[in-house]
Amino acid sequence: MVEVVVTLRFVTPCLGGRRAKELGQPDTMSRDRDGHVIFQQNWWNSLLSYGAQAFSKHQSRVREIRWDPIVDGSTEIYERYWTGTEHTDHEAFPAGSEIGVRAMLPSKFSINDFKKILEIGGKYKGISPYGYDDGYGRFEVVEVRRAR
What is the CATH number for 65? 3.30.70
Q: Is the pTM for the entire model greater than 0.75?
A: yes
- Count the domains in the chain: 1
Q: Over the Cα atoms of the chain, what is R_g?
A: 16
78 class by beta-carbon count within 10 Å (0-12 exposed, 13-18 middle, 19+ buried): buried
Cα distance from N-terminal residue to C-terminal residue, the chain:
14
pLDDT tens-digit series, residues 49-73: 999 999 998 888 999 999 999 999 9
Q: Show the domain range for 117.
A: 2-146
The residues of the chain scoring below 70 in pLDDT are: none
